[in-house]
């Protein structure tokens, strides 16, 4: 005689991850990751056929300029640009992260209109009166890796709106060294 007994097993649902848990780890291996919280919302780059999620990061050895450009064209209308001007030659904390020159003015963050052709609607610039930094945790020119942490607040040109970018981290490979 065969006897079978069924036992009911309760499966507990997995609690949702917090925004911080959804960000990529802050690594230094060249994992090609980028993430931050934009006004508390998770921001991870996502591209499409026309726009890469992460542009080729650029490093200018002569003056130490470092540029990183990312976008999320699927979930956000925000593109993030990080520029450190002058003097990035090693690991360290940098606060000169807004880039200005006589013929160009690069924002820290742009809000774009994704309907039809992609056009900039509003530009936001680093608010230097508030806490802002980029910490370069790895700068390996031989292996073309740059890694770091960042946080800043940006303000629009009219100074009527701010966006807070926190818990930022990047670990990029394929650094274009000039």
Q: pLDDT tens digit string along 28-85?
A: 999 999 999 999 999 999 988 888 889 889 999 888 888 888 888 777 777 787 877 7
Task: State what percent of residues in the chain have pLDDT above 90.
Answer: 38
Residue 163 lies in a domain: yes
> Total domain count for the chain?
1
Q: Residue 30 falls within a domain, yes or no?
A: yes
Residue 20 lies in a domain: no
Task: Please report the pLDDT score of residue 44 as a whole number.
Answer: 94
Q: How far apart are CA 167 and CA 157, in angstroms?
A: 24
Q: Which range of residues forms the domain containing residue 139?
A: 26-177
Mean pLDDT, rounded, of the chain: 83
Minimum mean pLDDT range among 41-50, 81-90, 108-117: 108-117
Residue 36 belongs to a domain: yes
Residue 27: pLDDT band with limits 50, 70, 90: very high
Confidence at residue 108, expressed as pLDDT on a 0 to 100 scale: 66
Question: Is 18 within a domain?
Answer: no
87 within domain boundaries: yes
Q: Which of 98, 76, 74 is nearest to 85 (CA)?
A: 98
- pLDDT tens-digit map of 120-150: 677 778 888 888 888 999 999 999 999 999 9
Buried b / exposed e along 108-126 (16+ C-beta atoms within 10 A): bbbbbeeeeeeeeebbbbb
Report yes or no on 12 lying in a domain.
no
Residue 9 belongs to some domain of the structure? no
């Amino acid at each position: 005689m065969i006897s079978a007994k069924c036992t009911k097993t309760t499966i507990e649902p997995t609690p949702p991850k917090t925004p911080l848990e959804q960000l990529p780890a802050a690594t230094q291996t060249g994992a090609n990751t980028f993430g931050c919280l934009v006004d508390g919302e998770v921001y991870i780059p996502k591209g499409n056929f026309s726009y890469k999620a992460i542009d080729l990061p650029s490093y200018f050895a002569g003056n130490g300029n470092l540029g990183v450009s990312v976008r999320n064209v699927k979930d956000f209308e925000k593109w993030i640009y990080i520029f450190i001007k002058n003097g990035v030659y090693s690991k360290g904390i940098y606060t000169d992260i807004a880039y200005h020159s006589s013929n160009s003015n690069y924002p820290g963050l742009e809000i774009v209109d994704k309907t039809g052709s992609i056009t900039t609607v509003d530009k936001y610039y680093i608010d230097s009166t508030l806490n802002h930094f980029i910490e370069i945790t790895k700068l390996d020119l031989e292996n073309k890796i740059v890694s770091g942490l960042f946080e800043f607040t940006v303000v629009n040109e009219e100074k009527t709106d701010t966006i807070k970018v926190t818990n930022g981290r990047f670990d990029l490979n394929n650094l274009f060294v000039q």
